Amino acid sequence: MYVCICKGITDRQIKEAVYDGNTSVRALRRQLGVSSQCGRCAELTQEIIDETMGAGVMATANSGLFYSAS
């Protein structure tokens, strides 16, 4: 889905940029240009960042890289 209409940026592009280490709206603005025109997409962009980072942490935790101390 399109998140930033002004720049034509999709949620998929934002998620890929977050996986590449761009974990703030400011970083995504520099990388993709999101929220650099009218700014209406900033809140949704932050939500996508939060969801992606939450999913990434869970995926890493469930990947077998971490073991229980018990």
> How would residue 66 be classed by pLDDT, with cut points 50, 70 and 90?
very low
How many Å apart are CA 23 and CA 55, to the nearest integer?
A: 13
Secondary-structure percent of the chain, ordered helix, strand, coil, rounded to 5: 55, 5, 40
HSE, side-chain direction, 13 A CA sphere, residue 46 = 5
pLDDT at 53 over 50: yes
Q: What is the pLDDT of residues 3-50, one digit of tens each?
A: 999 999 999 999 999 999 999 999 999 999 999 999 999 999 999 999
Q: What is the pLDDT of residues 24-35, one digit of tens each?
A: 999 999 999 999
Predicted TM-score of the model (pTM):
0.77
- The tokens 């940029």 sit on which residue? 17
